Chain A
Amino acid sequence: MEIGRPGQNGEAVRVVGLCKRYGGDVAVDSIDFAVRQGEIFGLLGPNGAGKTTTLECLEGLREPDAGTLRIMGIDPVRDSRKLRNVTGVQLQTSALPDSMCVDEALRFFSSYHGVMPDYGLLERLGLAEKRRAQYRSLSTGQKRRLTLALALAHGPTVVLLDEPTAGLDVGSRIALHAVIQELRSAGTTFILATHDMAEAEKLADRVAILLRGKLVVSGTPRELTAAGRGLTKISVRSERATLVQSGVALPAVERTAFQDEYAVYYSQKPGQTVTAAIAQLEASDDPLVDLRVERPSLEERFLELTGKGDSR
């Protein structure tokens, strides 16, 4: 991979055999993945799965015990100065001096990157009115947005975000997603470590799920959900709730539950199940009130893989 340019197949990031231990604990155990330029890649996993350690190795903050890492052809360990110019980083936990003002922070870090401060970024991230505010006076969400603005201020080609929407309200989250998608359209590559499955499903082109330091599965969100048990959730509510009362069995259903007057079916073949449910209601002369069909989500697939709990 030539320095400053994507590698073969347009790879912006390549990780091969990455291992990292803390004393006797294995945090990351020989993981491999590659991210193409202009792609949003989600790193998912429960607490302690190794997401942050993987990102910190890519950011040059931690030295891997084994493995090869390249970001636009740059070795993060050996060439951290070049790395800073091509990467934008938002750490999971970080801080600025309490007395530093918002626009001062933007000027400060932009000058170290050798670029003019882009104050428009503050506007897009809802910080325009806080330009003169000191860091100590910002809310948690505003601090997160500021660190994101600083990560993007020098127009990096690869952006590494660790829990970018943690602590953000709905409006800020939507604004952040819009900025990420806009930059992706312009060719920026993102690696996103997140707990938020809906966010990963919405934003990421591909995701990888880490569990106890190992990469257990990767692919597009659709591929991952399709590879699971693939049960579609069908919720049916009728006027007299005959489905709930009779407990009648429907075709292709693996599991049934009853919640708030709804009969809920987890089906392998949703078409057959829905047809049978409607026929059953018609036969009982019980008018249909509500019918919802939900395809398997990434979150369900994640819970299936992680055993619905933390890895440790």
Chain B
Amino acid sequence: MSGFLSHVSYEFHAGIRNRALLLMNYLFPLGLYLILGGLMARLNPPFIETMIPAMIVIAILSGALLGLPSPLVAAREAGIFRSYRVNGVPALSILSVPTLTTVAHTAVVAVIIALTAPTLFGAPVTHSWGDLILVFGVTAFAVAGLGTLIGVISSTPSAAILWQQLVFLPSMMIGGLMVPSEMLPEPFGRIGRLLPATHAMNAFTGLAQGRATTVQPFASLAVLLAGGVVAFVLAAWLFRWDSSPAGRWRHPALALLALVPYAVALILAG
């Protein structure tokens, strides 16, 4: 088995063996799915219409945004990356393998949600499975890029949690997950366009569910794709093997450039 495949195999198993990752990959999104499915159907019946995409986006946010960064920070600070380095593990594997395995875990959760929500909660059946897979892949790529970038730039796990929450909480509130973006007050709707969740919900609704959207769903996909590429390029550039400073040209503040594709989308949308 090649080093990369062996690495993927280890990380995939670690995603189940490690309790914190098990919580973020499976327990939290599935638990929330069951609670929101039961609760929101009574409190906010229209939620059921967008329940499948919303819960899939929450699963992606949980696994890739809340689950990815802290292990990266902890591994770097504990000297695990140095051990990897002297044993020939490339930096690109360190960044890409957790992303791939997290996406794989999240895909399992997404399949469970997409298959059970119509039966359990009366959610509309997915219109196009191909588009669902496409939007899932692009959204996971974009969010995992942000998660990886947060893991790379954060000096401590606490700092990583702070950055995660700066994306996760607004995504939950104004990212179109609980309430459709078009129903939000105008300023909140506009700010929400800086979040991957908003674009993901638009793409899922337009493509996978075949419903009318205010923004072209492929435009949302393009923003997510650009956001993912920029975030991963920045993560590779800012990556450090240990806690020693990386130099002026690799200042962590450069990570803010990951918001550029979303900011451009916001400006273009007027």
Binding site for B on A (CB under 8 A): 59, 61, 81, 84-85, 87, 89, 91, 93-100, 104, 107-109, 111-114, 147, 150-151
Taking the nearest CB of chain A, how far is it from the CB of B154, in angstroms? 18
Chain B residues near A108: list those with CB within 8 A: 3, 6-7, 10
Q: Would you call A111 and B3 a contact (CB within 8 A)? A: yes
Known contacts A61-B241, A111-B2, A112-B6, A97 near B75 by CB under 8 Å: yes
Q: Is B83 an interface residue (CB 8 A)?
A: yes
- Which residues of chain B have C-beta atoms less than 8 A from A89's C-beta? 86-87
Contacting pair B86 A84 (CB below 8 A): yes
Jot down 28 A-B pairs with beta carbons below 8 A, ordered by A.
Answer: A59-B86, A61-B82, A61-B86, A84-B88, A85-B88, A89-B86, A91-B82, A91-B86, A94-B82, A94-B83, A95-B80, A96-B83, A99-B14, A107-B6, A108-B6, A111-B3, A111-B5, A111-B6, A111-B7, A112-B7, A112-B87, A112-B88, A112-B89, A113-B87, A114-B2, A147-B83, A150-B83, A151-B86
Task: List, in ascending order, chain B residues with CB within 8 A of A109's CB.
Answer: 87-89
Complex alpha-carbon distance, A95 and B86, angstroms: 12
B159 to chain A, nearest CB (A): 20
The residue of chain A having its C-beta at the shortest distance from the C-beta of B242 within the complex is A61
Distance from A224 Cβ to chain B, minimum over Cβ atoms (Å): 30
Cβ–Cβ contact A112 & B241, under 8 A = no
A109 to B241, CA, bound (A): 17
Q: B130 near A: Cβ within 8 Å?
A: no
CA distance A85 to B79 in the complex (A): 21
By a CB distance below 8 angstroms, the chain B residues around A150 are 83, 87
Give the shortest distance, in Å, between B250 (CB) and chain A (any CB).
14
Asked if B248 lies at the interface with its beta carbon under 8 angstroms from chain A, I say no
State the Cβ distance, A12 to closest chain B Cβ, in Å: 18
Q: Return chain A residues, CB-CB under 8 Å to B3.
A: 108, 111-114
Closest to A99 in B: B17
CB distance from A197 to the nearest CB of B (A): 26
- A contact residues around B85 at 8 Å (CB): 61
Complex Cα distance, B85 from A100, in Å, reads: 17
Q: How many angstroms between the C-alpha atoms of A175 and B7 in the bound complex? A: 30
From residue B77, how far is it (CB to closest CB) to chain A in Å? 10
Decide yes or no: A111 and B1 within 8 Å by CB, A99-B14, A99-B17 being known contacts.
yes
Chain B positions within 8 Å of A, measured between CB atoms, are 1-3, 5-7, 10, 14, 17-18, 75, 78-80, 82-83, 85-89, 241
CB distance from A55 to the nearest CB of B (A): 10
What residue in chain B is nearest A114 (Cβ atoms)?
B3
Please give, as numbers and ranges, the residues of chain A lying within 8 Å of B86 by CB-CB distance. 59, 61, 84, 87, 89, 91, 94, 151
**Chain B residues whose CB sits within 8 angstroms of the CB of A95 once the complex forms:** 78-80, 83
Residues of A within 8 A of B82 (CB): 61, 91, 94
A81 — nearest CB in chain B belongs to which residue? Answer: B88
Is A104 a contact of B10 with CB atoms below 8 Å? Answer: yes
- Which residues of the partner chain B approach A59 to less than 8 Å between Cβ atoms? 86
Chain A residues with CB under 8 A of B89: 109, 112
In the bound complex, residues from chain B placing their C-beta under 8 Å from that of A93 are: 79
A91 contacts B10, CB within 8 Å?
no
Smallest beta-carbon distance A99→chain B, Å? 5
Interface centre among B18, B75, B78, B87 (most CB of A within 10 A): B87
The 3 closest A-B CB pairs, nearest first, are A112-B3, A84-B88, A111-B6
A81 to B85, CA, bound (A): 10
Residues of A within 8 A of B18 (CB): 98-99
Whether A91 lies near B14 (C-beta < 8 A) is no
Task: Name which residue of chain A comes closest to B75, CB basis.
Answer: A97
CB proximity of B14 to chain A, nearest CB, Å: 5
Question: Which listed residue, B6, B78, B79, touches A91 by the CB 8 Å rule?
Answer: B79
Contact of A94 among B5, B79, B88 (CB under 8 A): B79
Apart from A95-B80, A95-B83, A109-B88, what 17 extra A-B contacts exist at CB < 8 Å? A84-B86, A87-B86, A89-B86, A91-B86, A94-B83, A95-B79, A96-B80, A96-B83, A99-B18, A100-B14, A108-B3, A108-B6, A108-B7, A111-B2, A111-B6, A112-B88, A113-B87
Most buried by A among B3, B18, B83, B85: B83
Please report the C-alpha to C-alpha distance between residue A150 and residue B88 in the assembled complex, in whole angstroms.
11
User: Please, how many angstroms separate the alpha-carbon atoms of A84 and B3 in the complex?
Assistant: 14
Distance A98 CA – B241 CA, assembled complex (angstroms): 18
Tell me, in angstroms, the Cα distance from A61 to B1 when the chains sit together: 27
Q: Find chain A residues with CB under 8 A from B2 CB.
A: 111, 114
Q: How far is the CB of B92 from chain A (nearest CB, A)?
A: 12
Task: Give the CA-CA distance A150 to B75 in the complex, in Å.
Answer: 18
Task: Determine the distance from Cα of A112 to Cα of B5 in the docked complex, in whole angstroms.
Answer: 9
Interface centre among A93, A95, A114 (most CB of B within 10 A): A95
The distance from the CB of B22 to the nearest CB of chain A, in whole angstroms, is: 11
Nearest B residue to A22, CB-CB: B244
B34 → chain A, closest Cβ, in Å?
A: 27
A112 — nearest CB in chain B belongs to which residue? B3
Q: Considering the chains assembled together, what is the distance between the CA atoms of A166 and B10 in angstroms?
A: 29
* Residue from B10, B78, B79, B88 within 8 A of A113 (CB atoms): B88
Q: Which one of B1, B3, B14, B86 has the greatest number of beta carbons of chain A within 10 Å?
A: B86
State in angstroms the CA–CA spacing of A93 and B82 once bound together: 9
Tell me the bound Cα distance from A7 to B88 in angstroms: 24
